[in-house]
């Protein structure tokens, strides 16, 4: 049995911590698409905005495109909104970031028929100075490993987890329950969502955080995570994913391993200078540089640069709350439904149009025949072209009326 750590409230201390992070994702042994997504803050964001280091893991669900879209939106929007918010209250700022990500995902699912029903988990961790904070929805997890103990900081918002908390199931029964993947709370399925957020807690040198999707923690137990996380962070990430793959990995597997380390004032100063130089090279208007995992490069720990474009014009308070009706390709917007078994009457007007043209030509005097086509010229005043035009319109109207009357 491992001891459960209760994070203590943060207290002001001297010195500084840096957080080093490795992240890895794999599509698994069964799925054809990776619907997990993880993202890290850029060093320039952490230095310039004094908001600390942000790590996010999201696990999407809903159709071929929906899950991948929802998880990507959750992670990137949470990151953008958190660093855009000028509030120095990390808990409030992080909570608002997840709320706005939820509203955006829900709105997108209502607007785009291909994405309807999509949703995602989202677990976000911030380390600022010697303080830690998290916000969370769903059943992805954040663990804290300290010394010889591991603690699950987040509560799973799943059916079986709630049954365990209520004493209706044991932990062992929950692990094999047929409805263990049913979520009671996720992002994007409603216009609003309840978010779990922590108070500030102390972060100590040597603390290791593990953020992961259920594709990992469903196969790798907490005591195994405790043992593996003691090695270097990159080796730990590789070994955790390898172990999940060895056990079948029916779902996507994503892990972020972060370790807090004490740094000297000189190291911090050098890091801040490098971060600001990097921002000066990469900034373009309001676009911010972000580090993210490249999901296409399965099996390798990689980071790539992406540009996260801001969306200041979106009104989060005006997101749609009802599903938008979808028109099929053969359905007009104002079409009137036909009675059951009744087919609409179809009239072929082409033969009558040809007959009308012949009658008009026969009834038009030679001198009134229109001249050969010429370039169109609009005259402001004078000219008699309008007289001929009226005569032709009257002749066509008479011919059409004649055909309609004779058809009866």
Total of domains in the chain: 2
Residue 335 within a domain: no
Instruction: Judge whether 337 lies within some domain.
Output: no
Q: Evaluate whether 33 touches 65 at the Cβ level (below 8 Å).
A: no
For residue range 132-141, list pLDDT tens digits in order: 999 999 999 9
CA distance 20 to 356: 82
Residues 364 and 228 placed together within one structural domain of the fold:
no
pLDDT category of residue 12 using cuts at 50, 70 and 90: very low
Based on the fold, state whether residues 90 and 201 are members of the same structural domain.
Answer: yes
Q: What is the mean pLDDT of residues 79-108?
A: 96
Q: Which segment of 126-135, 151-160, 211-220, 362-371 scores lowest on mean pLDDT?
A: 362-371
Residues 127 and 267 in one domain: yes
**Is 282 inside a domain boundary?**
yes
261-318: pLDDT as tens digits: 988 888 888 878 888 887 777 655 433 333 444 333 334 443 332 222 233 333 434 4
Residues 289 and 354 in one domain: no
Interval 93-109 mean pLDDT: 97
Q: What is the CATH number of the domain that holds 240?
A: 3.60.40.10
Cβ neighbours of residue 363 closer than 8 Å, sequence gap 6 or more:
395, 398, 399
| Nearest CA-CA partner of 135 in 37, 57, 190 | 57
Residues 167 and 271 in one domain: yes
CA 389/CA 211 separation, integer angstroms: 77
Asked whether residue 164 falls in the same domain as residue 283, the answer is yes
Domain boundary among 300, 318, 336: 318
Write out the two tokens for 321.
Answer: 């709350």
Q: Do 115 and 207 lie in a common domain?
A: yes
Give Cβ neighbours of residue 67 (< 8 Å, ≥ 6 apart): 33, 35, 60, 61, 118, 120
In this structure, are 305 and 362 located in the same domain? no
Query: Quick one: average pLDDT of 213-240?
Result: 96
**Structural contact between residues 206 and 146, judged by C-beta atoms closer than 8 angstroms:** yes
Backbone angles phi, psi at 305, to 5 degrees: -95, 140
Average the pLDDT over 159-176 and give the result. Answer: 73
Q: Evaluate if pTM is beyond 0.75.
A: no
pLDDT (0 to 100) of residue 388: 55
CA distances for 34 relative to 25, 293, 394, angstroms: 8, 12, 67
The pLDDT value recorded for residue 314 is 36
32 with 128, same domain?
Answer: yes
Residue 343, C-beta contacts closer than 8 angstroms, at least 6 positions apart: none
Q: Is residue 393 part of a domain?
A: yes
Domain interval for residue 398? 350-370+380-407
Mean pLDDT of the chain, nearest integer: 74
Report the distance separating Cα 146 and Cα 399, nearest Å: 93
Question: Is residue 336 in a domain?
Answer: no
397 and 306 in a single domain? The answer is: no
Which of residues 279 and 30 earns the better pLDDT score? Answer: 30
3-state class of 357 per DSSP?
A: helix
Tell me, yes or no, whether 312 and 400 share the same domain.
no
Residues 307-355 pLDDT 10s: 222 333 334 344 333 333 332 333 333 333 333 333 223 333 344 344 4
Report yes or no on 375 lying in a domain. Answer: no
pLDDT value of position 47? 80
* Residue 326 located in a structural domain: no
Question: Do residues 284 and 385 share a domain?
Answer: no
Whether 127 is in a domain gets the answer yes
């Amino acid at each position: 049995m491992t001891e459960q750590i209760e994070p203590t409230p943060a207290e002001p201390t001297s010195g500084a911590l840096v957080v080093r992070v490795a992240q890895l994702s794999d599509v698994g042994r069964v799925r054809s698409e990776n619907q997990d997504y993880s993202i890290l803050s850029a060093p320039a964001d952490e230095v310039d905005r004094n908001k600390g280091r942000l790590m996010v893991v999201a696990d999407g669900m809903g159709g071929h495109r929906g899950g991948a879209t929802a998880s990507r939106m959750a992670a990137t929007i949470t990151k953008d909104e958190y660093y855009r918010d000028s509030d120095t209250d990390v808990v409030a700022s992080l909570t608002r970031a997840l709320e706005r990500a939820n509203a955006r995902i829900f709105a997108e699912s209502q607007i785009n028929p291909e994405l309807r029903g999509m949703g995602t988990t989202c677990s976000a961790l911030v380390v600022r100075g010697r303080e830690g904070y998290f916000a969370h929805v769903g059943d992805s997890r954040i663990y804290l490993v300290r010394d010889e103990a591991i603690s699950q900081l987040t509560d799973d918002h799943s059916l079986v987890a709630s049954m365990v908390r209520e004493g209706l199931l044991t932990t062992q029964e929950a692990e094999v329950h047929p409805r263990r993947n049913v979520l009671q709370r996720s992002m994007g399925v409603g216009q609003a969502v309840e978010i779990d957020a922590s108070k500030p807690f102390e972060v100590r040198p040597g603390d290791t955080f593990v953020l992961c999707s259920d594709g990992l923690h469903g196969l790798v137990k907490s005591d195994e995570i405790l043992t593996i996380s003691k090695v270097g962070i990159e080796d730990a990430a590789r070994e955790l994913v390898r172990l999940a793959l060895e056990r079948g990995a029916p779902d996507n597997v994503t892990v972020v391993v972060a370790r807090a380390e004490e740094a000297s004032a000189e190291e911090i100063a050098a890091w801040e200078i490098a971060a600001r130089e990097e921002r000066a090279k990469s900034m373009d208007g309001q676009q911010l540089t972000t580090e993210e995992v490249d999901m296409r490069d399965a099996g390798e720990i990689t980071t790539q640069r992406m540009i996260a474009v801001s969306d200041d014009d979106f009104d989060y308070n005006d997101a749609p709350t009802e599903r938008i009706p979808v028109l099929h390709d053969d359905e007009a917007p104002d079409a009137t439904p036909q009675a059951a078994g009744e087919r609409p009457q179809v009239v072929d007007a082409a033969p009558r149009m040809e007959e009308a043209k012949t009658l008009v030509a026969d009834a038009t005097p030679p001198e009134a025949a229109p001249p050969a086509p010429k370039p169109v010229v609009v005259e402001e005043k004078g000219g008699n072209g309008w007289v001929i035009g009226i005569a032709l319109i009257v002749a066509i109207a008479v011919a059409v009326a004649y055909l309609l009357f004779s058809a009866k």
